[in-house]
Structure 1
Amino acid sequence: MNRIRRSAVLLGLTAAVVVGSSIPAAATFSESVSTNTATLGAATVAAPTRISFTMTCVDGARLGKLSWTASSTARINRYAIDVEVLGQTRQFTAAAGATTVEYSVAARDLQPRTPMTATVTTVTQYGWTKTSSSVPAVWSC
């Protein structure tokens, strides 16, 4: 008797599995989640303006002076100055509040009226930058 019951149960389960596997499954799932949104503002970095680049000859030296009107950008970290002379770039750094850089070059290293250009780059505390247009040196010797 047990054997007949077991066989009937086994046969019923087998039939249920066969019939159940031939029918496609249908299920639906939905979930909604609310999220916080944030608005990002794009900051504009302004390059320095009114750049003046002069070179003078004094006692066997060449004196360079580069001045500009400070950038209106907030949180300026520094200004990066690039002076290009004969295809080589010399780099200087000025503090955030500075508007002038002066430097000296030995006369033997630089002939009067040597073509030179300079750019001034605003560098913010976040590392954002904006470079001015290139300005040629004006010699007075």
Structure 2
Amino acid sequence: MTTTRRILVLTALAATMFLGSGAAAQASFTESAKVTATPMSIATGTVSAPAAGSGSLTCGRTSATMGLTWTKSTSARISGYRVTVHFSDGYTQTVDKAATDTSWSQGITLYNVTAYAVRYTVSTVTDYGWTAESASTGWFQC
């Protein structure tokens, strides 16, 4: 008797699942947004490079001193300047300076400026990531 009851319950459950699954589910979604057109203008900004002034190389008995002066850039939002030393073998060295600086000097071993010539450039660095590099100075060598 229990086997018959089990078969009847199982058949009833199967019939309920089969007949009950015939109804399709439905859903719908709507969303809207109001967009107002406003006039827009896009401008292309430029960054002015600082004017590289005089570069220098003072040679001593065992060391030398490199130096550069420049005129500040007229661009807005300047965050600093980047001095680049270009060696004649292709190597470059950079030094970051403050936005208020207009000169730089640094000592170097004498060998580096007797074996190689150096020249300098200075770049404007802005707080929005744009830069502009000055013209290069002439070459210096001890």
TM-score, normalised via structure 2 length: 0.67
TM-superposition CA deviations, 1:68-110 (whole Å, max 9, x none) = 0010111101111111113210111111111101000012333
Which position in structure 1 is the counterpart of 2:67? 65
In 2, the alpha carbon distance for the partners of 1:64 and 1:99 equals: 15
Number of residue-to-residue matches in the alignment: 108
Report the Cα distance in structure 1 between the residues aligned to 2:57 and 2:112, rounded to whole angstroms: 14
Flag structure 2 segments of 5+ consecutive residues without an equivalent.
1-34
Identity %: 32
**Helix, strand or coil for the counterpart of 2:135?**
coil
4+ runs deviating over 6 angstroms? none
Please say if residues 55 and 137 of structure 1, whose CA atoms lie closer than 8 Å, have aligned partners that are also in contact: no
Letter in 2 for 1:129: T
Q: Is 2:92 the counterpart of 1:98? A: no
Secondary structure, aligned partner of 1:135 = coil
> How far off its partner does 1:60 sit?
1.6
Corresponding residue for residue 21 of structure 1: none
Higher share in strand:
1
SS at match of 1:36: coil
Which of 109, 113, 116 does residue 110 from structure 1 map onto?
Answer: 113
Aligned residue in 1 for 2:48? 46
Matched-pair contact (CA < 8 Å) for 1:50–1:69: yes
Structure 1: gaps (5+ residues)? 1-32
Partner of 2:123: 121
